[in-house]
Amino acid sequence: MTRRIAMLSVHACPLAKLGGRDSGGMNVYVRELARDLGARGHRVDVFTRWREKDDPRIQPLGPNGRVIHIQSGPLGYWPKMAVFEHLDEFTEKLIAEVEQEQRSYDVIHAHYWLSAKVARTLEERWRVPVVQMFHTLGLVKREVMDEDIDGESDIRTEIERESVRKSAAIVAASHIELGELRRLYRADPAKVAVIPCGVDPNVFHPIRQADARELLGRDQCERLILFVGRIEQIKGIDVLLRALALLFFRHPDLRKEVCLLVVGGALDPGDDAPETEKIVELRRLVHEHRMEANVAFVGSRDQEQLALYYAAADLCAVPSLTESFGLVALEAMACGTPVVGTRVGGLQTVIADGESGLLVPAGDYQALADAIARVLTDARLRMHLAHGARERAERFTWHHVGDLVSDLYERILAGRAEEIRA
């Protein structure tokens, strides 16, 4: 049955350039899920904040899908709490947009806590059920961070708790996240659907390493470590740099061979934004350990180029302090690249330790250095992990995600129909 879905992704446009400020796995998730649902015949409108002045107000997103930009506050990048301050304006303009088009929806699917706040108002006004996915949880983030990031945690936690209580269903990316929802938010497990993320095999697939390196202009003889993600503390990039420094201290011969490529951050040629304080801090760390010749910040890259970076690498490091799923790990694995990741959140379910990658404790740069050394210096282990990575990634597809989400919608709507009849 064809359904009409209002998808809320306030701060993360599914068509945004990836790897920059607040652009990452969630953007990919919303984009790929919307496309898959549209291909099934569902009508999907993704409502997101208008951030880039050159973006059309309405953009197509695959068959039956649209991205609708809602202006709330000034255009341009704004920290999440600044976006929060304009949520009432966002909600009012969204409602006006829908009324002007005389549209209605069967389901609201909200992503992240900012969208959860908007969803509460729409749920009351439209009388339709809400499916909520958080992608990251404020209380989990608070547990692993040294300080209250951006001062958002109290407001965020209150919104997340309300959403857990009132949403018709919650989507968790892993059983680990389900456990966190139960432990920290007292979520009813009957309302939580565990649905993993997916990967596009048409984009992320094995390519000969030599071919990928030639296309990227990289030395065929160097040993490449890859980091992909937003440049912020929670992604563990500073832990990785300390691990690299320790690796060179323990194996001085590797200093001439190893290069770390950092993909992410507002550093691409078309971006005139200044480097973030975090990137400046990381450059100081690189200088402190005399690794300027070993570390390259290459900025944001589109999906096709990103696949080449994965294929060119000897290993992909995912040193996150917390991770609800770990889409970067899955993309690397689909390209046949071993992953060294942290034993946190969904990474524990994506990476099979010793089979498709290696897992180490979060924040432990010594263990991370040991694991990286093992993969770089043991060709047999590297080949074993590469084979296991490809094999494991085949289990995760966006089409499978679409199957599970579509089934969830139908169960919720069937239950709502029974409530009305009763």
Q: Is residue 321 domain-resident?
A: yes
Is the domain of 179 the same as that of 230?
no
The pLDDT, as a whole number, for residue 164 is 98
Is the domain of 260 the same as that of 299?
yes
Question: pLDDT tens digit string along 97-132?
Answer: 999 999 999 999 999 999 999 999 999 999 999 999
pLDDT above 60 (res 309): yes
Q: Is residue 204 domain-resident?
A: no
Question: pLDDT tens digit string along 231-246?
Answer: 888 899 999 999 999 9
Q: Is residue 203 domain-resident?
A: no
The pLDDT, as a whole number, for residue 62 is 92
The pLDDT, as a whole number, for residue 147 is 53
Mean pLDDT on 264-271 = 55
Q: Please, what is the end-to-end C-alpha distance for the chain in angstroms?
A: 23
How would residue 25 be classed by pLDDT, with cut points 50, 70 and 90?
Answer: confident
Pick from 18-32, 66-80, 332-346: least confident: 18-32
Q: Is residue 120 domain-resident?
A: yes
Mean pLDDT on 31-57 = 95
Which token pair is 199? 């990967």
Q: Is residue 104 domain-resident?
A: yes
Is the domain of 145 the same as that of 278?
no
Which structural domain, as residue segments, surrounds residue 362? 209-393
The residues, ordered by sequence, that sit 6+ positions from 146 with a Cβ below 8 Å of its Cβ are none
The pLDDT, as a whole number, for residue 45 is 98
Q: Is residue 264 domain-resident?
A: yes
Is the domain of 83 the same as that of 37?
yes
Pick from 139-143, 175-179, 312-316, 372-376: least confident: 139-143
The pLDDT, as a whole number, for residue 369 is 98
- Euclidean distance between CA atoms 335 and 414, whole angstroms: 40
Is the domain of 62 the same as that of 107?
yes
CB burial string 312-328: b at 16+ within 10 A, e below: bbbbbbbbbbbbbbbbb
Helices (H), 58-152: 80-84, 87-101, 112-126, 138-144
The pLDDT, as a whole number, for residue 354 is 96
- Euclidean distance between CA atoms 157 and 220, whole angstroms: 48
Is the domain of 338 the same as that of 404?
no
Is the domain of 187 the same as that of 318?
no
- pTM recorded for the entire structure: 0.90
Residue tagged 């832990």 (tokens): 239
Is the domain of 22 the same as that of 86?
yes
Is the domain of 253 the same as that of 382?
yes
For residues 183 and 152, the model is more confident at 183
The total number of structural domains that make up the chain: 2
Is the domain of 132 the same as that of 27?
yes
Q: What is the CATH number of the domain that holds 283?
A: 3.40.50.2000
Of the candidates 311, 288, 237, the one whose C-alpha atom is nearest the C-alpha of residue 19 is 237
Q: Could you give the C-alpha distances from 218 to 131, 145, 221, 267, in angstroms and in order?
A: 44, 36, 9, 19
Beta-ladder partners of 227: 262
Is the domain of 34 the same as that of 97?
yes
Mean pLDDT of the chain: 91
Is the domain of 189 the same as that of 308?
no
The residues, ordered by sequence, that sit 6+ positions from 81 with a Cβ below 8 Å of its Cβ are 150, 151, 152, 155
pLDDT above 50 (res 276): yes
Question: pLDDT tens digit string along 349-363?
Answer: 999 999 999 999 999
